[in-house]
Each structure stands twice: as structure tokens, then as C-alpha cells.
């Protein structure tokens, strides 16, 4: 891969699984009898804000119990040592990439440690429990909600992501089932623009057929090995 200069990496829940955070569609993907998909919608927030806020309060609190694993650390090393362009696009709302030290990072589905004003769209750091109806410091509206992109909402920074995909030489997808668009379509976009595409996942995913190469195994093993290879 001597000709690679520009890399885009997409990560999903699988990269944080070995840190102890449950994935969405594997075992443990249910919460208090609700399908996770049924809690992460604008409709659920309107119908039962206390339930939705409690769900994210618990997940935010869980961040304190976990630490980055070898896969996050390897990507942080790549971020530090890769002289070319790099963008890590994560679908994860945990903060394990940044705690590992990665900075060329974008959270396309929002962040647990941030709150969003449903009124003026201000985003503020919010590491604590977030009660429904908390007031926004910018506009005063009692409208702070978890800064999470719900099903049916547009992910953050799509233009920047599409530009990066259009200009990359290599697209690497790590620990994602390829079940949720638009992220599931990034491999097709990268292919379309002529990038090489590589998947690192525990098992074949919905998108496996689109990748030039798929390697199956645990992220904590596959990611450090690939980073070693690309930096060599
Ligand atoms: N190493 C590598 N891959 C793993 C590991 C592991 N240790 N453990 C699980 N996986 C893989 C699973 O095989 C699965 O293909 O990670 C993938 C996780 O898939 P999902 O649970 O569907 O998570 P993700 O793809 O991130 O979900 C996308 O869906 O609910 C929404 O917004 C939420 O960002 C999320 C989006």
C-alpha cells in the first residue's frame, strides 16, 4: 500500500465492544425490554422524554466504567504517526477514540458527553445526567436534549465526510454491521471515487460484498496489525 496517502476510517460499535460497551444488534442490544431503535427516535423523545433521557444518562455514566482498548489505541497511534491525510469518522457516541488520543476525528452520530438545544441548535459539553427540560445557556429555551442523531435525523458533517471519501485512496470500515445508512453506503461512495476498500469486522457484515478485502476477527487484534502494516 505504498501509494496510499489519504485514508478515511469508519468505526462502529464493534470497536468499543471489547471495552465493554454493548453493540446495537448483537446480544445485549435490548434495553429494559425496548429495542434500542425504539428509544433513539424523535418520536420517542416527544412521547416519553424521561425514558429517552434515562437511557442516555445510563450510557453516559457507563463511559466512566470503560477504557479504550487496543483498537482505539492503534488508531490514535495512526493519527499521530500518519503523515498523509486522515479522517476517522465514528458512528459511536462514546468518547473512547478521543480518550485514546485520536484527534482527526468526527462523531457523525453525536456524542454522549454533549447536549443539543432543540431550539437554537447550540451544542454544549454535558458530562453529567441531563434532566428533560434543562435550559439552554445560549437561548434560554428549556430545550436541551441528548446530542445524539436519532433515526430519521441527518448525521453531522455529511458534506465534509463525502468530500473526504471522494478524495481518499483507502477506506477502512471497522466494527460496523453496515445496517444503518448513510454510513452503510460509504463503501460504495469510496468505491465509486476509486479508493481501495478494506473491512475489519468480527463477522461478515451487510456491506462485506462491497469491499475489496474483508478481514474477520476481533478489532483488538485486527486493527493494531493493520496499523502496523500501513505505517511500515
Ligand atoms: N471486533 C470487531 N467487530 C466486532 C466486535 C469486535 N470485538 N464485536 C462486534 N463486532 C461487530 C459485529 O459483528 C457487528 O457487525 O461490530 C458490528 C456492530 O454492529 P451494530 O451493533 O449494528 O453497530 P453499528 O454498525 O455501529 O450501528 C450503526 O446504528 O443504532 C444505530 O446510531 C446507532 O451508530 C449506530 C448505528
Residue 169 DSSP one-character state: S
Selection from 180, 194, 179, 152 nearest residue 8 by Cα: 194
- What is residue 169's predicted lDDT score, i.e. its pLDDT? 97
Give residue 199's pLDDT: 98
The confidence score (pLDDT) of residue 27 equals 64
Q: 109 catalytic, yes or no? A: yes
User: How far apart (Å, rounded) are the C-alpha atoms in residues 172 and 89?
Assistant: 10
Q: How many angstroms does the Cα of residue 11 sit away from the middle of ligand 1?
A: 8
26 lines ligand 1 (CB under 6 A): yes
Strands 34-35 and 86-90, by their bridges, are: unpaired
Q: Which residue among the candidates 34, 107, 109, 192 is catalytic per the annotation?
A: 109
Q: What percentage of the chain exceeds 90 in pLDDT?
A: 88
**How many angstroms separate the CA atoms of 226 and 204, rounded?**
18
Task: Say whether pTM exceeds 0.75.
Answer: yes
Q: For residue range 9-24, what is the model confidence (pLDDT) as tens digits? A: 999 999 999 999 988 7
Co-location of 137 and 213 in the same domain:
no
CB contact at 8 A, 202 and 208: no
182 cis-preceded (ω within 30 degrees of 0)? yes
Question: Which residue segment(s) compose the domain that 208 sits in?
Answer: 6-21+67-109+155-231
State whether 177 and 104 are in the same domain: yes
What DSSP state is assigned to residue 136? P
Q: What pLDDT does 208 receive?
A: 86
Task: Dump pLDDT digits (tens) for 150-207.
Answer: 988 999 999 999 999 999 999 999 999 999 999 999 999 999 999 999 999 999 998 8
Are 131 and 102 within one domain?
no
CATH of the domain at 32: 3.30.1600.10
Amino acid at each position: 500500500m505504498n501509494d496510499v496517502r489519504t485514508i478515511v476510517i469508519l468505526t462502529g460499535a464493534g470497536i468499543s465492544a471489547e471495552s465493554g460497551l454493548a453493540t446495537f444488534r448483537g446480544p445485549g442490544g435490548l434495553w429494559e425490554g425496548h429495542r434500542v431503535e425504539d428509544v433513539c427516535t424523535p418520536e420517542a423523545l416527544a412521547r416519553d422524554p424521561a425514558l429517552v433521557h434515562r437511557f442516555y444518562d445510563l450510557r453516559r455514566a457507563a463511559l466512566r466504567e470503560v477504557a479504550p482498548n487496543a483498537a482505539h489505541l492503534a488508531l490514535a497511534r495512526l493519527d499521530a504517526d500518519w503523515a498523509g491525510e486522515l479522517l476517522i469518522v465514528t458512528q459511536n457516541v462514546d468518547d473512547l477514540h478521543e480518550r485514546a488520543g485520536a484527534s482527526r476525528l468526527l462523531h457523525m452520530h453525536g456524542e454522549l458527553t454533549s447536549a443539543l438545544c432543540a431550539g437554537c441548535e447550540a451544542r454544549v459539553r454535558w458530562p453529567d445526567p441531563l434532566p428533560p427540560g434543562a435550559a439552554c445557556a445560549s437561548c434560554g429555551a428549556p430545550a436541551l436534549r441528548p446530542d445524539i442523531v436519532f433515526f430519521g435525523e441527518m448525521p453531522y458533517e455529511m458534506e465534509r465526510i463525502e468530500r473526504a471519501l471522494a478524495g481518499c485512496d483507502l477506506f477502512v470500515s471497522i466494527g460496523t454491521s453496515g445496517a444503518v445508512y448513510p454510513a452503510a453506503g460509504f463503501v460504495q461512495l469510496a468505491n465509486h471515487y476509486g479508493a481501495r476498500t478494506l473491512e475489519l469486522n468480527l463477522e461478515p457484515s451487510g456491506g462485506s460484498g462491497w469491499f475489496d478485502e474483508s478481514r474477520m476477527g476481533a478489532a483488538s487484534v485486527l486493527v493494531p496489525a493493520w496499523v502496523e502494516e500501513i505505517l511500515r
